[in-house]
Amino acid sequence: MTEATPASRWLKSTAWLADHLGDANLVVVDGSYYLTTQNRDAKAEYAKAHIPGAVFFDINAIADTETDLPHMLPGADAFGKAVGTLGIAETDTIVVYDGSGLYSAPRVWWTFRIFGAKNVFILDGGLPAWTAEKRPTEAGEVKRASRTFKAQLDTGAVAMVTDVQLALNDGSTQLVDARSAGRFAGKEAEPRKGLRSGHMPGALNLPFTEIVENGRLASRDTIAAAFAKAGVDTDKPIITTCGSGVTAVVLALGLDAIGKGPARIYDGSWTEWGGRPDLPVVKD
């Protein structure tokens, strides 16, 4: 059986990973994360079963601890220290996966990349694909020897609230929201308490699920059609946003797959915007 070529250059197949698991410079990272509404415990699931040798990247712990916003990017020094402790250097080949297939792994992939790692990939189909093929897993926590990760943040890859305000005011950059249509329209409650429902005035909506099929990134044709249907001009600058800066990266990955971008990620996303009474919100 011939394997289909992944839609993105940043995706590695389960077969490739199985062949390279023993490589000295390869690090496998479990980047699973779930909303509280999903009733799943990422760390507990990792401890129960993970790809052999994988370390757990906790996006809530490797984050800016000075803010109330969830899993915001930490500073370069803090990131370098945290992932160095996990046994990862910026020169390693890093393969990230998650327990959903394609949900939080792109966020972790993007984070490693913007802090200076070059050879970072996402496991195509994630842990569900790996286990469906009856490939081996192990339990417990993996402890790797500490490494030095020389971190330097690419600030141009990250959008702050002021960048979003400017983009909405002057129309220079499109805001594309990866949340569900119901949340975007303000017809569904936000999973985080205290947040207003709706969206930023002028934002476009492309639920990330429109470009994910069975836990995998959809075909390039499907991705291109989804962006077009959402009214996005992929030749113009884009900032992607979502609930808390996680699935916004799925859209950025999709844009890269069709040769567009790079998109900037609004790190605070709706948790910041919807939680600030001074920022405008509209409903459909």
Q: Which residues pair with 178 in a beta bridge?
A: none
Which two structure tokens, joined as six digits, stand for 226? 């989804």
Q: Using only C-alpha atoms, what is the Rg of the chain?
A: 18
Longest dimension (CA), the chain: 56
Residue pair 94/68 in contact (Cβ under 8 Å)? The answer is no
Angle at 219 between CA 238 and CA 91, to 5 degrees: 70
Which two structure tokens, joined as six digits, stand for 215? 């836990």
Enumerate the active-site residues: 242
